[in-house]
Structure 1
Amino acid sequence: MRLDRFIAETTGMSRKDATKVLQRAEVTVDGAVQKKGAFKLPAQAVVKWNNEPLELVGPTYLMMHKPLGCVCANDDGLHLTVFSYINLPNKDKLHTVGRLDLDTSGLLLITDDGQWSHRITSPKQQCPKVYHAWLAEPVTENDITAFAQGLQLKGETTLTAPAVLEIINEREALVQVHEGRYHQVRRMFAAVGNKVEQLHREQVGALTLDTDLAPGEYRALSAEEVALFY
């Protein structure tokens, strides 16, 4: 990695400002002053700025309990975003792994690892997502069959992939889908003449929302949890 890029990524400063601190002889590599931004850092090199060591922070993997009323965007002129709840120095580099809409709560994954998030969101991976839905009308056994066979959504030309519908009680159900169509769960229930009044995502793949997390709270994933998607 170039030295100026390393400094920018470890301090949060711009590449231009990194060049300035180099020119001021404030940076050493293995004890020797280095002024060239294009200098290629050798493996295990010790870089210091004003005698303070700089270290690259590894990839970030977060689980958030997304609350209602915020959107999965880095910036939005109308609504609060999920990133307004995050207090990390690198949050401008983070992105959500897929999206939950304004009126959906629950498990949201956030990272700066594009390859990892792609493995979760890519249709080829068929990563299952489980939603808890509260309905306006009773859920029926016929709905279970319809979800399993695939549904024709309004404005779509192809049926949804088979989904698993599990009835909790008359107006509550769990839905497992493998796709990520726009407002898919809400539209699936609309296709069978019902309406979702509340929607909460409980699970992505084998990862379940931590019950200790209140809405708006988040925590880092463990190495074992990150490995679930590799």
Structure 2
Amino acid sequence: MRLDKFICKSTHFTRAEARAAIRDGRVKVNGWYDCHEATQVHENNVMTLDGEILQARASRYLMLHKPAGFVSSNVSGRYPSLFNNLTHDDDNLHIQDVENLHIAGRLDADTTGLVLITDDGRWSFNVISPARECEKVYRVNLRDPITEDAIKQLVNGVLLRGSEQLTLPAKLTVVNEKEVLLTITEGKYHQVKRMFGAVRNKVLALHREKIGPLSLDVPLGQWRYLTAEEVAYFYDE
């Protein structure tokens, strides 16, 4: 973990405040002053701030029901940040800590549904890595009725524009002629929309219902912490 990030995880400093403390010589690593914010530190290192030993708080793992019209970023731009939906609570989720959280598998601004948020980089890598074959289930509303030929192509893999390899095999359940459930294990840029574009259809609405064993179970715009068992799933071999 970067030294500036470790300080944020051990205090209520913003990233800018952590970097300033390092530059001002207030931080030591294993007894030595370190002026490099990007220095990698580990659990067996001893970090101090103003002579006090720093202890990183436990990582945070959240499920959030993303509304449409929010961007999957810590910073608002054309659309407001999804993190605007995170509010104060009684469990140390302070507003100044939000910048140290990130999303494990982003959704487009117009897409709704399940989003996982954490400050644990190794955990989020396991969520999004195709090698883990973590299934993501999307409810897809289409412009045109789904055809048998399109189903066959999507299940076997389609060639996305700009790609040289087919998408990995998918699962598809027909809800009705213009609504399907698509299950994939990848997370390419705009993948679901591009997959249906490859079979000459258009996605009108997209909603992520499930990631691995986690099903969305909070109201629109609301969030909750994951349980220890839910977190552990993405660390199991």
Question: Could you say which TM-score interval applies, normalised by the shorter chain?
Answer: 0.7 to 0.9
**Where in structure 1 do 4 or more consecutive aligned residues deviate above 3 Å?**
4-11, 13-20, 36-41
Helix, strand or coil: the match of 1:216?
Answer: coil
Given candidates 146, 155, 168, the residue that maps to 2:153 is 146
Partner of 2:73: 73
TM-score by length of 2: 0.76
Question: Is residue 159 of structure 1 aligned with residue 149 of structure 2?
Answer: no
Structure 2 gap ranges (5+): 32-43, 88-92
Q: CA deviation at 1:152?
A: 1.5
Larger Rg: 1
Note closer, same or farther for the CA distance 1:140–1:60 as it changes in structure 2 (3 Å cut).
Answer: same
SS at match of 1:38: strand
Aligned to 2:62: 62
Partners of 1:12 and 1:133 in 2: how far apart?
A: 40
Q: Residue deviations 1:79-129, cap 9 Å, x none?
A: 111111112322111000021001110000000000000011112112111
Query: 1:6/1:71 Cα in 2 relative to 1: closer, same or farther (>3 Å)?
Result: closer
How do 1:88-107 residues align onto structure 2 when only pairs under 5 Å count?
A: 88-89=93-94, 90-107=97-114
Partner residue in 2 for 1:38: 28
Q: Name the structure 1 match of 2:125.
A: 118
Aligned-residue CA RMSD (Å): 3.2
Q: Which amino acid aligns with 1:222?
A: T
Which residue number corresponds to residue 204 of structure 2? 197
% identical equivalent positions: 45
Counterpart check, 1:182 vs 2:189: yes
Tell me the number of residue pairs that the alignment of Structure 1 and Structure 2 aligns.
209
Q: Quick check: 1:136 aligned with 2:143?
A: yes
Cα distance in 2, alignment partners of residues 5 and 183 from structure 1: 30
Extract unaligned runs of 5+ from structure 1: 21-35
SS of structure 1 residue aligned to 2:28: coil
8 Å contact kept, 1:144–1:164: no
Retained in 2: the 8 A contact 1:7–1:18? no
Q: What are the superposed Cα offsets for residues 115-149 of structure 1, whole Å, 9 maximum, x if unpaired?
A: 00001111211211100001111112222211122
Tell me the equivalent position of 1:83: 83
Equivalent residue for 1:224? 229
Q: Secondary structure at the match of 1:143?
A: helix
State whether residues 65 and 108 of structure 1, in contact with CA within 8 Å, keep that contact through their aligned partners in structure 2.
yes
Q: Which amino acid aligns with 2:214?
A: L
